Amino acid sequence: MLRSHSYRQHGVTLVELMIAMVLGMLVAAGIVTVFVSTSNNNRAQTQLARLQEEGRFAITRLGSDLRMADGQYCTNTGGIAQPVASGLYLDHLRAPKVYAKHLIGTATGTSSGAFGDVTTVWGGTSGSVNYPAVPAATYSMPSFLFMRGYDCTLTTCTPVDPTIAGLPAMGTAVGDRVKGTDVITVRYVDSSRGWAIGDAGGSSIGTASDGSGISSITLNPGTGEPPRSNFTNGDLVMLADCSSAQIFAASYSVASGLLTMSVDDNFDDSHPMMPRLESAPKVFDVNRDFQTVTYYLKVVSINNDGKPPLTGALIRRVNGGLKPDGTGTQSGAFEDELVRGIERMDFRYGVEDVDGNTRFLTAQQIDTSTNCPPAETNAITTAGCLWRGIKSIEVSVLMDGQMPLYSLGMSELGYSYGIDNMTKLAAPASHPIKPGDQGFIDQMLRREFTALVAVRNYNP
């Protein structure tokens, strides 16, 4: 007799299935939360690391040029100390003597194009400052041509708008100059260039038959010196040694390397003098070797597609870019984008006045001050004279991480910026100059970097 076997079916009830699904979802949610939190932390740490690296680079690169401000070949200091009202003896930098009629332009006239980014011209005005009329005789190169800064708000710059030198206008579009950021221009001689005088078989100087001064210079490059073709006809010449420097105009033949003193383009009250060979004289192309270096911030696209999100890039502009007539470039002119992620850049200038007191001033205060160290050898250097009294420059930059972090709240995105007198962390919208005012988004980490740069070519 066959027995029938009954088998009980095993499974889960609907309630049990729902409970299992809920538990699974909770576990999955926990895993996702941990993953998202880890991912956000990783992105934040990546931003901070990037901020530190690029902030240090920006400050270091700025400092290397600012330290060179006013630098000449080997005549930077050593003028005759003069007593002032406080009883101190203060010295001043030796400035090149200018024989050329057209070192810079006039309010309505001609320029040699020797310097780029010039915003101060003969007979022009800068705010409340009237600059000297066109010189009629040889003169010492004035202080305002060695260094000049510009304080910029969201709408204006003082003492003058640097766009007149060819820099981009302020705005929030890609390619504009970043709103609310300062600009600085410094000039110095690249002493590694030039042609040495006096070496056997090297470059030489011809004197006038009456012994009144220099009539010509023959460039014969030695080992390691630039080729003759680096000098362009129409560029100004600087003959410098360890006692003085002289700037004058000359016509040039590339084939022979002969520089011949120009009669029409130099003042006729005196002639460049023969240097002492034991003082290591050298010839420089003023247009190329007397470097004009300008720093400013330009709006760029983080993703390089011309679209937001946007940030600022530190631009190093050398020798002004275009010639005055807009045809081609100045000798050795170029612009480099050095680092991205900079939204603010501000400068304060540590100056020593006529009483030997040191204080920090803005560019506008320096430009209008007449409380200067002992003056140069003629009155033409009075305007903007305090630019020569700068002993140090305080640099402040505000860096962003260049990666939006939309998961962070405003309290987590807080930062401080000392120039705005905000020493405590504050949300982006609480700052006087807000990222949104500049075309940038709030949701990025930001940090301030500062440095005090000593100007090495100052002799108190």
- Mapping DSSP to helix (H, G, I), strand (E, B) and coil, where does residue 121 land? coil
Residue reference for tokens 């807009």: 326
| Rg (alpha carbons) of the chain, rounded to whole number | 31
Q: At 451, which helix (H) or strand (E)?
A: strand 446-454
| Residue 90 · residue 84 · CB < 8 Å | yes
Single pTM value for the model: 0.87
**Which of the pair, 192 or 78, is modelled with greater confidence?**
192
Q: Confidence band (pLDDT; 50, 70, 90) for 327? A: low
Q: Which two tokens stand for residue 286?
A: 């003023």
User: What's 413's DSSP letter?
Assistant: T
Residue 199 structure tokens: 């070496």
Q: Give the model confidence (pLDDT) of 374-393 as tens digits.
A: 655 566 777 777 888 888 99
Q: CB within 8 A of 163, min separation 6: which ones?
A: 169, 177
Q: What is the pLDDT of residue 460?
A: 40
CA dist., res. 167 & res. 161, Å (int): 9
Residues 90-136: tens digit of each pLDDT = 655 578 899 999 898 876 667 778 898 988 888 877 665 677 888 88
| Mean pLDDT of the region 434-457 | 92
Confidence of residue 180 (pLDDT cuts 50, 70, 90): very high
Average pLDDT in the chain? 84
Per-residue confidence at 320, pLDDT binned at 50, 70, 90? confident
Structure confidence at residue 434 (pLDDT)? 95
Compute the distance between CA of residue 432 and CA of residue 251 in angstroms, rounded to an integer. Answer: 54
Neighbour-count burial of 263, counting CB atoms closer than 10 A to its CB (0-12 exposed, 13-18 middle, 19+ buried):
exposed
Query: Nearest 5°: CA angle at 151, between 148 and 154?
Result: 145
| Residue with more model confidence, 62 or 87 | 62
What is the per-residue pLDDT for 459? 47
